[in-house]
Structure 1
């Protein structure tokens, strides 16, 4: 299911963030959004995640303008998008319960109640989705461990597993490995590739250009209040069309 921003723009008060931003992510690809701090990467992700409405333009998911459909339909679309924030945001519960959470809130109330009474969790009333997701991030052995006892890197991996457990059509990642050590970074990057291989469209907002080169199929460069370039990774980094892109990836622009 393609997720697309068409001419999106936004301002905070009288301060414009960006305008006329258009980009899309298709099933089974990773799109990286790079740009300096303050360029609006997180804000753009929140629009793509259907959390907020932009001031201008539209967000189209599965052929539907998400802000033109009834609220119930918009909620159904939002449930097909997963998001991992910089802060893992885990609950005071064990690891498995944290991963299970996304599955539970996305199922009809009657089904959730039935499964709770039966002591069942996960997709189709089983714990299989939880186990698979934890295995993907290398934490299956910590399913019963208190989430508060995890390291920062492990907590972020649990957050990733939670978003992946309910099989979203699109997965949005906001600086998913900032401040993580190389080992945890490598695990999450491998999980990003696994999500892509499952046919999930992945959007990664990152300031780490080397990470963009490692995991992305295409790159969007968010600079000077807009997307100045979108294209395949190697072309954007090696032979960009826009001089601002060249200067940015070379570290010549100061913000």
Structure 2
């Protein structure tokens, strides 16, 4: 099973943000998408998350062209993809309610009603997937705390747990540690590695090249309108084949 973009082109209005972009994310691997601000990293993640169709090119989920099938089938694919944004965007509710939201909305209405009480009991007994996700990000002790009382780093960790709780096939992260302190950054990076260990394919957009080097199996470099180079992490950083990649990594290419 893979999430595969081939020859993507996209933009807004008359502006082209991405051109001829191809990228594959496989189960169990972490792919870092690096590049300066404004080159289309977030746009690429939104396309991979199936939020909107590209202007050109194709997106395949497990070999299926998702924009060539029915909306119902496309929704089924979208529900197997989680995304964490740069801003946590938590609901006005408890940490528990936020963490279990993704699981809750993926159930039928009848199942939601039948399982409401069972979920609550399961969470308090530490048996639910939402509780397990909170344990992954080190916040199980804040289960009933209101989300509004969390620090920025804690809120981002809850957002990560919310996406992880429904056990997606693919997890897309848009600058997940931007402006976080080292402790919260380390917790999220550990959670990214654990997601990979659980056979979840992860794509992380980041401007932090050190972070990409720490957590990624492969790196894709976006400069100008598209991917200039992609490959195994150490090869990209130590032996880039494209001169633009080398200049960007060495800090010579200024945007």
Q: Deviations over 1:223-249 (max 9, x none)?
A: 121111000000000100100000000
C-alpha displacement of 1:33: 0.3
C-alpha displacement of 1:119: 4.8
Find out whether 1:9 has 2:5 as its counterpart. no
Segments of 5+ residues of structure 2 without an aligned counterpart are: none
Partner residue, 2:88: 88
Partner residue, 1:72: 72
C-alpha displacement of 1:115: 1.3
Segments of 5+ residues of structure 1 without an aligned counterpart are: none
Partner residue, 1:137: 137
TM-score, normalising length: structure 2? 0.96
Distance across 1 between alignment mates of 2:18 and 2:87: 24
C-alpha displacement of 1:110: 1.7
C-alpha displacement of 1:120: 2.4
Q: Deviations over 1:183-230 (max 9, x none)?
A: 000000000000000000000000000000000000000012111100
Distance across 2 between alignment mates of 1:27 and 1:83: 16
Partner residue, 1:52: 52
**After alignment, is 67-76 or 104-113 more displaced?**
104-113
* Aligned-partner SS, 2:10: strand
C-alpha displacement of 1:113: 1.9
Partner residue, 2:179: 179
How many matched pairs?
252
Distance across 2 between alignment mates of 1:130 and 1:17: 36
Q: Where do 4+ consecutive residues of structure 1 move more than 3 Å?
A: none
Distance across 2 between alignment mates of 1:16 and 1:168: 30
> Is residue 119–residue 128 contact of structure 2 (8 Å, CA) maintained in 1?
no
Find out whether 1:225 has 2:225 as its counterpart. yes
- Within a 5 Å distance, the mapping from 1:115-154 to structure 2 comes to 115-116=115-116, 118-120=117-119, 128-154=128-154
Partner residue, 1:33: 33
Distance across 1 between alignment mates of 2:39 and 2:20: 14
Partner residue, 1:43: 43
**After alignment, is 172-181 or 219-228 more displaced?**
219-228
Q: Deviations over 1:62-107 (max 9, x none)?
A: 1110101100000000000000000101011110100000001111
Distance across 2 between alignment mates of 1:108 and 1:64: 25
Partner residue, 2:245: 245
